[in-house]
Amino acid sequence: MTDKTTAQGATPGGPGNDEADATTTRAAVVAEAADGTSRSLTADAFRSLRRNPFFWISSALIVIFMLMAVWPSLFTTYDLGFNDLSRSRETPSGAHWFGTDTQGADIYTRTVYGARASILVGVLATTGVLLLGSLLGLIAGYVGGWVDTLISRLGDIFFAIPLLLVGIIFLSSLQDTPTLLGIPIQGYFGVIFQVVLVFVLFGWPSLMRLMRSSVIQVKPNDYVQAARALGATPMRIIRRHVLPNAMAPAIVVATINLGAYIAAEATLSFLGIGLRPPTVSWGVMINDGLTPLRASPHILFFPALFLSIAVLAFIMLGDAVRDAFDPKSR
Amino acid sequence: MGKYIVRRLLQMIPVVILSTFLIYAMVFAMPGDPTAGKCGERPCPAAYIEKFNAKYHLDEPLPVQYGYYAKNVVQGDLGENQYGRPVAEELSERFTVTAKLAVMALIFEGVIGILAGVLAGLRKGGFIDNLVLISTLFVISVPIFVTGFAAQYFLGLKWEIFPALATGKDPSLFSLVLPAMVLGSTSLAYIARLMRSNIAENIKSDYVRTAKAKGLTPRRVVGVHTLRNSLIPVVTFMGYDFGALLGGAIVTEGIFGINGVGGYIFKGIQNRDGIAVVGAVTALVIVYLLMNLLVDLLYGALDPRISND
């Protein structure tokens, strides 16, 4: 990742004829001020990350949720399809840790299986937004001129519509459509594809703006000019100089957004236009728990708890990474 | 300043046109049958489809269709819902409730958020600072519909401190307190964090040190020199955050049974009333865009650096 170029020790204030050294000069000065030894910003950031308990808590939670998404049966003893109508709406007990829902299904099992939809949407939407936003931001910032104007104005238009509102319009108008551009969009993966698509389509401008401003900041620097004079291709300049400088803020924002996407997906499912029963997802389960809320709040409580912890984990991780990479906050 | 306003207005026009075009395209240019689900479980009769196509000019090319649609929207026609009532009329009946709710939420998040942010930012690393940081982290993480149900269940149903529902045509202000607190909660957390970092940064600046050196009272140093400059980004945030507030209103009004614009959309989704949902959301997006413009203009007035470049 980014530490490839920046982790090597740099000579502060050096002549900058080595490209990697030049990139790290500024970072190294920051690091050196701390304790006299030469360390790059990235290495320094990872050091402070390792000492942050929030980083470890959130990482552990994320690993657990990822495991749940990939291999839910690892955590559960009941089958997903198991239900016993004679034990409908039972409160938590030894046999059913989180109690049972209206159908007499084990809420713990369903909550564990529900992780998959949320994690899938979060990870896919974030990856898509990161790729599309970064690519367009790089192009806009690097090429400049009318290309920049075009991409930036396009971004303004997509940025102008609040995500939840556009999600509602998009999903409610695709509710009865079997395929989109030849891709089936109903069923479990179909609906997840719809949700991811609308998040990527309307989420890229924030990453594009971030990337664009980083590129514009880096481009006039001496080391970039030097690299260009030495005949480096645009690809190389972007890979070696621009990306290492711009990746950290982009990843921070993307991590925090991942939590926001999970919350938005659950909200859409809860409203009844995202995933629908019999699909298991936290939003759907919370929707199921609405009717019996007064008498059996536990049906709603546990999926809501898992959802909140998942969102919390990603926001906490993003916060920790930002604090580590932002020297101002120290 | 005049030049700045004109430039912002000119920039705004293509954004409004193209973003409403996007919404329109999403609804009417998608593959599939736009009349699906409008006649219950059965497919629509041919005569209805013909009438529908003629009404929305669906046989014309897309830009022409959009032209008709935009003309209708400008004239205040957002289509008719399932029951044949004009959406715009239904929205205007519900607008005051939502406006009341949004203003109450803005006041709640503004007052408490700024206060918490100032207290935290003045003593960075202190007890209040850590308390604010951790509690806002939790508030941000819990999705608004979970907050809503938790508040309704505990404060409304179990302990009966607030009314659990705010139904009716004109709910009392008191019954809107709990929904407004839920609606404003996420933004409150963001405002507190933003205010905290601004205060912590500005308190170290040269002009604050000068003010202190002049011997001004701490109240004046914080109240005038630090607070005012720290408020600018918060005001901007509150304006831009209006969109999140409108989205949140759909969920909040749905939970508390409020008959506002959000509750209308919530019911429209559940009844699968596409035209009503799209019409109402389009209206919200336009309100949001206008709000952003207003904030931009306000920002130009608050911070001369913006309008002079």
Domain end, chosen from B57, B87, B117, is at B87
Domain count, chain B: 2
Q: For residue B278, what is the domain's CATH number? A: 1.10.3720.10
Residue with tokens 């604050």: B208
Residues B128 and B230 in one domain: yes
Name every chain A residue with its beta carbon within 8 A of the beta carbon of B182. none
Q: Are residues B68 and B196 in the same domain?
A: no
Question: Are both B81 and B93 inside the same structural domain?
Answer: no
A273 touches chain B (CB under 8 A): yes
Alpha-carbon distance B171 to nearest alpha carbon in chain A (angstroms): 23
* Chain A residues inside the 8 Å CB shell of B250: 164, 168, 271
B142 located within any domain? yes
Are B194 and B108 in a shared domain?
Answer: yes
Last residue of a domain, one of B50, B68, B87: B87
In a domain, B309, yes or no: no
- Nearest residue to A305 via CA among A316, A313, A296, A315: A313
B33 and A176: CB-CB below 8 Å? yes
Tokens 């880096």 sit on residue: A218
Domain with B153, as residue range(s), is 88-302
Name the one residue in this structure whose structure tokens are 């664009």.
A212
CA distance A313 to chain B (A): 8
Answer whether residue B26 is part of any domain: yes
Is there a domain that residue B135 lies in? yes
- Residue B250 predicted with pLDDT over 70: yes
Is B22 in contact with A161 (Cβ distance < 8 A)? yes
Contacts of B201 in chain A (CB under 8 A): 328
CA nearest to A287 within chain B: B145
Q: State the complex-level ipTM.
A: 0.79
The answer to whether A28 and A12 are in contact (CB under 8 A) is yes
C-alpha distances out from residue B116 to A23, A328, B136, Å: 40, 22, 10
Same domain (yes/no): B126, B83: no
Does one domain contain both B47 and B147? no
B137 and B274 share a domain?
Answer: yes
- pLDDT score for B32: 54
How near does any CA of chain A get to the CA of B220, in Å? 26
Tell me if chain A has a CB within 8 Å of the CB of B161.
no
B-chain CB neighbours of A316 within 8 Å are 137, 141
The reply to whether B308 falls in a domain is no
Report pLDDT digits (tens) over B89-102: 888 888 888 888 88
Q: What would the pLDDT profile of B20-50 be if each residue is shown by its tens digit?
A: 788 777 776 655 555 655 666 667 777 777 7
Flag the least confident range among A86-100, A135-149, B279-293: A86-100
- A256 pLDDT band, cuts 50/70/90, is confident
- Is residue A222 scored above 60 in pLDDT? yes
> Which among B44, B60, B87 is the end of a domain?
B87
Mean pLDDT, residues B80-87 = 74
Does residue B225 share a domain with residue B112? yes
**Chain A CB contacts of B266 below 8 Å:** 271
Min Cα distance B115 → chain A (Å) is 21
Residue B177 lies in a domain: yes
Is the same domain home to B143 and B288? yes
User: Considering the entire predicted model, what is its pTM?
Assistant: 0.80
Q: Around B71, how many Cα atoms within 13 Å sit in the side-chain half-sphere?
A: 8
Taking only the tens place, the pLDDT of each residue in B128-156 is 888 998 888 888 888 888 888 888 888 88
In this structure, the answer to whether residues B293 and B275 fall within a common structural domain is: yes
B213 domain-assigned: yes
Asked if B138 reaches chain A (Cβ–Cβ under 8 Å), the answer is yes
| Element spanning A179, H or E | strand A179-180
- Does B246 share its domain with B213? yes
| Ordered alpha helix ranges (H), B29-159 | 46-55, 62-74, 87-122, 127-141, 144-151
> Distance (Å) from the C-alpha of residue B289 to the closest C-alpha of chain A?
7
What pLDDT is attached to residue A132?
94
Per the CB < 8 A criterion, the answer to whether A1 and A19 are in contact is no
**Is B307 contained in some domain?**
no
Of A23 and A303, the structure prediction assigns the larger pLDDT to A303
Residues 285-324 in A contacting B (C-alpha not used; CB under 8 Å):
286, 290, 293-294, 297, 300, 304, 307-309, 311-312, 315-316, 319
Distance CA B186, CA B152 (A): 16
Strands A179-180 and A183-184: antiparallel
Nearest to B78 by CA among B70, B22, B261: B70
Question: Is the CB of residue B167 less than 8 Å away from at least one CB of chain A?
Answer: no
Could you tell me if B159 and B199 lie in one domain?
A: yes
Q: Which residues are within 8 A (CB) of A284 and not within 5 positions of it... i.e. 6 or more apart?
A: A114, A269, A270, A274, A275, A276, A277
- Spell out the residues 6+ positions from residue A172 whose beta carbon is closer than 8 angstroms to its own: A273, B269, B272, B274, B277, B278
